[in-house]
Amino acid sequence: RPVVTRPETQAIDMNSRSNTLADRDIVPSEQTFGFLGLGMMGSTIVKDLIFTKHKVVVWNRTIDKCQPFVDAGAEVKDTPMDVVEAADIIFCCVSDPKGAKDLVFGNCGVLQLKDLRNKAYVEMSTIDPDTSMDIGEGIKQCNGRYLEAQIHGSRQEAADGMLIILAGGDRTVFEECHSCFKTIAKNTFFLGNVGNACKVNLILQTILGVSLVGLAEALALADRFSISLNDIIDIFDLTSMKSPLLLAKGKEMAKGDFNPQQPLSHMQRDLRLVLNMAENLDQSMPVTSITNEVFKHTKRLGYSEHDSSAVFVRSRF
Ligand code: NA7
């Protein structure tokens, strides 16, 4: 069993800007935007929203993470409920469906405000359609508007302003978020009812997870034959199978550099959500099931916080 060290947590660089921002000609909305969750994704998004002159109010469970944003001009609040009170449109970007639900239904959560007239809630955390529908229902019952805006892309793509936004729910909220989405994403899609965007996001994650496990197993076999992984990747690059992502992940596997662009724990969470969805439909997904087991095992080996490409470590056993 290898000795596993946690990947270094990279401090957010408040001065770095994606090159794409200058070309986008962003006119910031006049509304005040709340932001719940300043993890790696949330921080990167908020940094760019502040840079493009959006009015931002923030909250994070670990409150220390808010300070750089306060220094950059954001307001900080003590609870999610306080953020909702102070903002017109509130984004949430936390780890998982449970965290997302806690922030809405929990103690000091969004619904404690009771009256959400003139407020809109935008869920960016990766969640399953049922969780999104529950959250949307809760918000609607308090007269608020709801949009799920799933973010597809890695942490680097977030830093480059190159995410893809997949949205479903209230179209007026989608339109009111235009200047924010233009700041952080290269494309945005409105996919109709609540739940649709979550489904599309999780379907894309299925393709990613299964592809990564295939890549890892193939490279592990090459390694057993003592064939240079770099040679394999160079040849792969010349084939019609190549994709920018698989090339990048292959290089990470060859180097053993698992700096978390898309943490392995998030990948496994997504596969779990996919399999739950499939279970409810009696949809058979044998390859995805095995892929999930492979990621689960890699987590048990201590690679939760590393990039999903760390699945290669397990394949080499
Ligand atoms: P990170 O960097 O792991 O950050 C996770 C964030 O979620 C961080 O702000 C956490 O607060 C917060 N969190 C997690 N659980 C909770 C609960 N229960 N209550 C409140 N806050 C919570 O993830 P990323 O930023 O890369 O990704 C976030 C989402 O974007 C994820 O769904 C991706 O799929 C897309 P903490 O700082 O630990 O106090």
Looking at the CA of residue 125, tell me the nearest atom of ligand 1: 32
Confidence at residue 53, expressed as pLDDT on a 0 to 100 scale: 95
Classify 144 as helix, strand or coil: coil
Confidence at residue 2, expressed as pLDDT on a 0 to 100 scale: 62
ipTM of the complex: 0.98
pTM: 0.95
pLDDT tens by residue, 99-122: 999 999 999 999 999 999 999 999
Residues lining ligand 1, judged by CB closer than 6 Å?
Answer: 37-42, 60-62, 65, 93-95, 99, 102-103, 125-126, 151, 266
Nearest to 126 by CA among 164, 96, 89: 96
Per the structure block, which two tokens stand in for 148? 């799920």
Alpha helices in 106-185 (DSSP H): 129-141, 155-159, 171-176, 178-184
Confidence at residue 17, expressed as pLDDT on a 0 to 100 scale: 72
Q: Which of 59, 95, 264, 274 to mutate to test the pocket of ligand 1 (most atoms within 8 A of CB)?
A: 95
Looking at the CA of residue 37, tell me the nearest atom of ligand 1: 9
Looking at the CA of residue 151, tell me the nearest atom of ligand 1: 35
Tell me which residues of the chain have a pLDDT lower than 50: none
What lies within 8 Å, CB to CB, of 152 at 6+ separation is 163, 164, 165, 166, 201, 204
